[in-house]
Structure 1
Amino acid sequence: MRKRTTKLARPNRFWPGLLLVATLIGTSAADPLDHFKCYKLKQNTVTFTPQQVTLVDQFDTEHPTVQTPFRFCNPVDKDGGGILDPTAHLNCYTIFDQGGPPFRHRKVTVSNQFGEQKLTLVRPESLCVPAEKDGVASALAIDHFKCYQVERTIGTPPFKFRTVVLQDQFES
């Protein structure tokens, strides 16, 4: 596998411009979770019938329509930390809730290996669900994640650029 150095920047983009929040859809993760690197899917390459689902997270309950697959997420070794489960993958779908009340912006503080970030949740954007790749399922009980578009909260310092080394099964 070839190692790829990635500079994390642009906090209003996908990673870390999205906040993933575990969503209750009949599964609960007890196992530690890998880091994931997500790849954009080509449009119109997958036949998919939109489906309405019920999503419950710490912010609200909503009934969005799951519309289009648009990202595939692969487990990734970040900075030599290893991959716990090379069979754990996520498929991410755009979601749209046309019948519910408008999403109320919320301010959250996120602390992780990149420091503390004060973010404003703008709107639910997507749903990432456990996926099999080439017919191989993960042995882990992976949660579903409702992802939110976020913005840096006004008055918060900008996200600091970080360089990480990412290695996954596609980068070889």
Structure 2
Amino acid sequence: MKTVKQIDYVQFEPAHFDRVIELGNRVHGDNYLTAESIKPIYEDSWHNNINASWVAILEDKVVGFRLTFAASKWTPSEWCSPELWPFPQEQVCYFKCNTVDKSIRAHGVGSKLLKRSIEQAKLQGAKAGLAHIWLASPGNSAYKYFSKNGGKLVKEHPNRWRHASIHEGYNCPVCEGYCECVAAEMILPFQ
């Protein structure tokens, strides 16, 4: 494993928007994040003057990010099963996405970003976090990573990103045509 220089972890700010969009689209597919979607994501990261989203910086380059919605700033969708969660929705933040540049994966960056988001979400009042984990990630790494960090499977949702691929211009990096990927709805209770 190659050695990685010092990575700085900083809270997500508007100055990071363009670089977060670029990395997110490179990893998750074109139009996963857009100039129109990034500002509301940023705004929904905040509650009580606390920001739950983070970026990882290496040599002035964004090499990872964790975007997290405060528990008070999101509404469960049809892809959520709140009746199966161990906490009420108002105590559950939403982990929008965790993204790490291919060049530095397997160095703990994703886990460090998650840990920082959890710390901030707890200060915001959350007792757990929910995520839709992409089961088509290379080697199913997203599921393995989230499980290793305490995430528990709630339910699988086929075609989770199909609507985005049909109506919002999202281009899944693994599906030909419209996205048919399965999402694992997972909850991570905070200790």
TM-score normalised according to structure 2 size = 0.26
Name whichever structure is richer in strand by fraction.
1
Name whichever structure is richer in helix by fraction.
2
TM-score normalised according to structure 1 size = 0.28
Between 1 and 2, higher relative CO (CA 8 Å, sep ≥ 6) is seen in 1
